[in-house]
Chains A and B, each alone.
Chain A
Amino acid sequence: MVCKMGTDMAKSGMMRCLALVTGTGLSLAVTGGQALAAGPSEPGLPQLDISTWPSQIFWLVVIFGVGYVMMAKVVTPKIGTVLEDRRTRLDGDLGKAREASAEAAKIRAEYEADLEAARNDAAAFARQAAAEAAEKAAAVEGKADKKLASKVASAEKKLAEAKAEAMENLNTVAAEAALDAVKGLTGLKATKAQADKIVKATAKAMAPQEAN
């Protein structure tokens, strides 16, 4: 195996260089490969057949080169753009959402302030209305009281007048009754003036008793 490598190496300087550098790393693989590749017809590990190396290196360089250009010019810029667009879009949307949220909070605060002011206004208005109503009621009540009092007063006055008149009339009736009674009992004629005088005196004498 190693001999074969040696003869082949003479073919190309490049191969020799590579084989020398890989030599250390390969020594283990070579022994392993020889053990695996049992049988006299087997030449050993196909990997160590350096006649295939130029072709493999050539196609590796060509294909990897083409792959690199494709990845660098088409694939990675495309994926990068899509990811970048998404990131900016998400950031923008998040910013917008944050703004909207702040706006909503502001509107809510305003609304609550309005509500509070309206509540206060309503309370003040209600208080004022209640006060006005109470005042009006008091005024009406005062007027009614006064009217009532004056009515009572006039009624009492009338009553007193009626009483006095009634008392006057009563005296006259008593005098006449007394005259009639004197005439009927005694046949004497008493003058009206006499009778009045007596009735008045009697009434005067009785008045303190009535008061009691």
Chain B
Amino acid sequence: MTDTKGSGSPNLSRRSLLKAGLATSGAVAAAGALPATARAGGDPLITEIQDWNRYLGAGVDEAPYGMPSEFEAHVVRRNVPWLTADTVASINFTPLHELDGIITPNGICFERHHGGVAEINPADHRLMINGLVDTPLVFTMKDLKRFPRENHVYFLECAANGGMEWRGSQLNGCQFTHGMIHNVMYTGVKLKTLLDEAGVKTNGKWLLPEGADAAHMTRSIPMEKALDDCLVAFKMNGEALRPEQGYPLRLVVPGWEGNMWVKWLRRLEVGDQPWHHREETSKYTDLLETGKARRFTWVMEPKSVITSPSPQAPVGHGKGPMVISGLAWSGNGRITRVDVSLDGGRNWTTARIDGPSLSKSLHRFYLDIDWDGSELLLQSRAMDEHGFYQPTKDELRAARGENSIYHNNGIQTWYVQKDGAVENVEVS
């Protein structure tokens, strides 16, 4: 998001501006702006020799596993302390406002644990298949790596993403309103391959995956989905799963709510009925205004959010070229269109989707505008390949009330002010 072509100015960072004593006044400078004209005598960052121009840097092996630049130290997962009782049964949020493209780096994929992160030596891990199968089986990790494998990019979204916003705008930042999502490439074995190896009996209609962590997480999955596109994955973005993402083995349930993607996967039981366990009765059911509650609401609906500008990523320049950037996704398949509004949903322009357009994966969209410096009410609206598009928050509330917690995919509004600051608002 650094393409500011036509600005005609040296691209200085805020840090270098301050160092050079060039900080100009007002919010524009505070947001990290470009000077309008070159300084007399030239930019000292160019005219003077800098330390890094002269002295030697770190050698190879300084960081056997590399980390981001120290100047990126603020790009981290963050939690909302008031939301849950304890961090071992809690959630944190992906810093979406700092990312671009569609892939989430492994170290900042949001975490949701129900009993903390299980630490498992892969040599000690076992996967069992039992229940209504011809042959109950046990696999080691080595066994699993002998089956044919596949690679797929999928988003994983917690059903509660946006859950704090049902009653209205509450949190200032897309990290907090939309950050219970990540998108990585998984490597693993098709779940169908493993189930076929055990031989599912004809009355085997449901599957119960179970985790090896202290929560022993379980969910009921219909066999049709299990045999369709689920994976048993051991890699993310090319490297082993991170411990907080289920190392050494997790279930991948494309397009469906994240709670079903059981981490530290140790068992798959085949049955003829669902189990109605805690995470599909007490939790992850959607209470409606009538007092009825929907259950087995698995699919994540079409959704989008503008990640920049957004409250944590204010506009860092004055009027002129501005890149509006965001993410869109749907559990139904590919995103075919994203519309962006600058006036709170009165008029819309179709944005440009850039990068890979993959089924059940994040899509990156851009709208490049010439900002006149006036206030904006930014919205984005995703449409998927089945023609479903994102409802407004009012439409959702009219249909469901305010107590559903889960599956809030309503259209988000960001209020961009003249000084570039951005706030989470709701509009008429």
Chains A and B belong together in one complex: no
Name A residues whose Cβ lies closer than 8 Å to a Cβ of B.
none
